Each structure stands twice: as structure tokens, then as C-alpha cells.
A and B are shown apart, each in its own frame.
Chain A
Amino acid sequence: GENVEQHPSTLSVQEGDSAVIKCTYSDSASNYFPWYKQELGKRPQLIIDIRSNVGEKKDQRIAVTLNKTAKHFSLHITETQPEDSAVYFCAASILGGQNFVFGPGTRLSVLP
């Protein structure tokens, strides 16, 4: 089955700097890669996703890149703000399928 690895497990950045979180997956059939943000005590919230037919997607300060050949994808957050502090989870799945696997998470701290 699918296996998703995520690095780093913790990340601290200064406010205004960029943050990058990387994930790798094992199942070449996976074609959908979402990123979730989970603040303390709250539900995971989808922040951005990418399908396998594109290599990059951007939404304001957040971008995701995908390298299908290498089976890895990354989340990029620019101009970080304290409210970006949270745990971020990547995931890999097959659209319409039931194989939805999350990475172990990255705890991001943005220091003022």
C-alpha cells in the first residue's frame, strides 16, 4: 500500500522567512496530493492540493510543487506569519479511491 514520508518533523522560522516541507510517496498510481493545516485542538483544514497532471500550483503565499518521477511533493509558504504556526500534513491518494494516506506531520513554528 501507499506510504507517505514527511520532513522535517519540526520546523522553526522567523516571521517573514519562507518555510518548505517535503513529502515522498511510494505508490506511483497516486494522483492527488493535498496539504492540510491543523491548529491546536481543531480539525485539519485543506489549504492547497495538486493533481498529478500539473507540476506546480500557487495560492497567494502558499505553493505546492510535484515531481512525479521522483515521487515527491513540497509545500512552500512565503512571508510566514505567526498565524501560520500549526501542524501541516501532506497526503497522497488516488482520486475516487479509498487509499488516502497522510504523512506524519510537520510542526511549524513561526517566531515573531
Chain B
Amino acid sequence: SAVISQKPSRDICQRGTSLTIQCQVDSQVTMMFWYRQQPGQSLTLIATANQGSEATYESGFVIDKFPISRPNLTFSTLTVSNMSPEDSSIYLCSVEDQRRSYGYTFGSGTRLTVV
């Protein structure tokens, strides 16, 4: 399956600051996805990042709060801006893995705590 390196693995941040999460894939992929998983909850899609175009955001998520970059076919970043304690969550990137029957492969996640 695709290998995804995601960093940082965890961080504790002050409210009002921003954190940028990086995902690097070992192969070129068309779409990269960013998910949020709140404690004890399921995975919620934040946005889909395509190379060369603006990310597509799901209802309830906006670009000003979660800006995304996709400079090439193997890399993407998600920034959590102007953080509040409600942003404390696990953030995961994901790709559609054509080596695994199109299943989605996830990065290891970033555990964010906002204090």
C-alpha cells in the first residue's frame, strides 16, 4: 500500500496560534484528503486537495480556518488557523490507494491539543 508520512505526530498549541500539518506520499496521487477525528468519534472529511486547484471543502469547514496547500502530486499541508480548544482533535491525511483496490490509506495522524 501507499506509504504516507505525516508530521508532526502530536503537538500542544496555544489558543490563537496556527499549526501546519504535512503529509508526504511515496507515490503520485491525484487526490489527497484531510480528515478530522474528534475524541471517540468517527472520521469527518474536512476537504479534498487536488494538485493545481483550490481544495474542495465540506460543509462546516472553511478555507480561512483550514487552508490547504497541494504544491505537487506527493505532498499536501493542512493548517489549523486561529486555534481554539474545540480544534483539539486528531487530523489525518488520506489518499486513494490504487495499489490496494482503491481503498483509502491513512497517514499516522496528528494529535492536536489546544490549551
Contacts and interface: CB of A to CB of B under 8 A. Distances in A.
Interface of A: 32, 34, 42-46, 49, 89, 91, 95, 98, 100-105
B48 A89 contact: no
Interface in B94-112: 100-109
Interface of B: 1, 31, 33, 41-45, 48, 56, 92, 100-109
Contacts of B104: 34, 46, 91, 100
Contact of A104 (B33, B42, B106, B108): B42
Given A98-B48, A102-B43, A46 B31 contact: no
B43 A49 contact: no
A105 B41 CA distance: 8
Q: What 10 A-B pairs have minimum CB-CB distances, sorted nearest first?
A: A46-B103, A43-B106, A98-B48, A102-B43, A102-B42, A104-B42, A105-B42, A34-B103, A43-B108, A49-B103
Contact of B107 (A34, A43, A91, A104): A43
A100 B46 CA distance: 11
A46 B100 contact: yes
A46 B42 contact: no
Contacts of A104: 41-42
A42 B9 CA distance: 11
A100 B100 contact: no
A100 B106 contact: no
B45 A44 contact: no
A91 B45 CA distance: 12
Nearest to A103: B42
Contacts of A91: 104
Nearest to B30: A96
